[in-house]
Amino acid sequence: MIAVIPARLESQRLPRKMLREIGGKPLAICGYQAIKQSPLLDHVLIATDSEEIMEACNKFSCNARMTSSKHRSGTERVHEISQTAAADVYLNVQGDEPMIRIEHIEKLVRLMEDPNVPVGTLKTPASAEDVANPNAVKVVADLSGRALYFSRSTIPYDRDGSQPEYFKHLGIYAYRKGALDGFMALPESSLERAERLEQLRFLENGIPIYIAETQYDSIGVDTEEDLIRVQKLLSR
């Protein structure tokens, strides 16, 4: 099993965020070092199109590889790695998730032990502040654990005040090679374009995503406020 951390330098909401520092280390390096602690992975690497990020990887002795600058998503970058690095399962761990834990990796690895699962990901109970936060993606699933929908909106809608449980999606995925190849063969979907959530391309084309639940939250760094929040949490 190979874990790939897609890391591009340009970001609309937080410029050059992969090189923003937390505890004296660039964001991408924090994520790499956290994932490397898992004994369940055969290989971990950062996939980037930035020479500056490559320089940071070399400085901190992180395994990294240059990939095409034409990729529009992290999944496309992981797919490029899959063309030359053989594995049963490829993990896509977002480079802006420095609070990923070995427990997250373990949950996802166990989920993918079922050969009928083409794509896997994680959810955790959403905090009150994340329920209405568009930067915290919400997910609803059916009784078998298959995702029904991902959204930046608050789903499900609590029409009658029944107080449903809300789940936040964590930015880590596992793919089999066939699912990655299938993703690349499909055009950008309308839901993917509307929400700016690439996982919706799978759902809109009938490729199931299975979800495991974890009690451990993680914070994706999308804004300056997220960065400050993570810095404070990790400094403790």
pLDDT digits 0-9 by tens, 152-208: 999 999 999 999 999 999 989 999 999 999 999 999 999 999 999 999 999 999 999
Give me the chain's average pLDDT, please. Answer: 93
Pairing of strands 209-213, 119-125: parallel
Report the alpha-carbon angle 199-200-205, nearest 5. 110
| CA 56 – CA 65 distance, rounded (Å) | 12
Residue 56 φ/ψ, nearest 5 degrees: -65, -40
Token duo for residue 181:
């190849």
Report the share of the chain in percent with pLDDT over 70.
100
116 vs 135, which has greater pLDDT?
116
92 vs 23, which has greater pLDDT?
92
If we measure between CA atoms, which residue out of 54, 42, 41, 47 comes closest to residue 83? Answer: 47
What is residue 98's predicted lDDT score, i.e. its pLDDT?
85
Question: 0.85 exceeded by the pTM?
Answer: yes
What is residue 10's predicted lDDT score, i.e. its pLDDT?
79
What's the Cα-to-Cα distance from 201 to each of 11, 34, 88, 155, 159, rounded to whole Å?
Answer: 21, 28, 22, 19, 28
Residue 31 has pLDDT above 80, yes or no: yes
If we measure between CA atoms, which residue out of 145, 142, 140, 144 comes closest to residue 166? Answer: 140
pLDDT digits 0-9 by tens, 41-92: 999 999 999 999 999 999 999 999 999 999 988 999 999 999 999 999 999 9
What is residue 150's predicted lDDT score, i.e. its pLDDT?
98
Return the number of other C-beta atoms located less than 10 Å from residue 15's C-beta. 11
Residue 119 φ/ψ, nearest 5 degrees: -140, 135
What is residue 226's predicted lDDT score, i.e. its pLDDT?
85
What is residue 9's predicted lDDT score, i.e. its pLDDT?
86
Report the alpha-carbon angle 140-177-1, nearest 5. 90
Token duo for residue 160:
């009658």
Residue 111 has pLDDT above 90, yes or no: yes
Helix axes 51-59, 27-35, angle to 10 degrees: 50
| CA 79 – CA 72 distance, rounded (Å) | 12
